[in-house]
Amino acid sequence: MQTLDAQFAALADPQRRAILARLARGEATVSELQRPLGISQPAVSRHLKLLEQAGLIEQSRAAQARPRRLRPEGLDAARSWIAELRDLWSDSFDRLDEFLADPANGDIE
């Protein structure tokens, strides 16, 4: 559950979501991420650290640069949790539909 908490905490911030959206297009360095966000490089680095701790991104090494890239499997825990909730709701609505469709249940007060 800690991983899930860390992922949702990381995704709660709009700047971190913007970083993820940028990394979805390909690797980027801190300075490449900083420019469009209009925040300081230390602030970007703090966001990146949280995203890395949540398992959503990873750092690679290319000469002296350390570009970041998405870890698509990093969202697996969140995806599974959301799918479980969706299935529970869907099952609940299916049972409600069956209940309401049964004429024997028409006299409920």
How many Å separate Cα 60 from the centre of its chain?
A: 21
Domain of residue 50, residue span: 2-105
pLDDT in tens, 18-75: 999 999 999 999 999 999 999 999 999 999 999 999 999 999 876 677 899 999 888 8
* Domain harbouring 47, CATH code: 1.10.10.10
How many domains in the chain?
1
Tell me the pTM.
0.74
pLDDT in tens, 52-67: 999 999 998 766 778 9
Rounded Cα gap, residues 71 and 59, in angstroms: 10
Q: How far lies 5's CA from each of 10, 14, 67, 72, in Å?
A: 8, 17, 25, 17
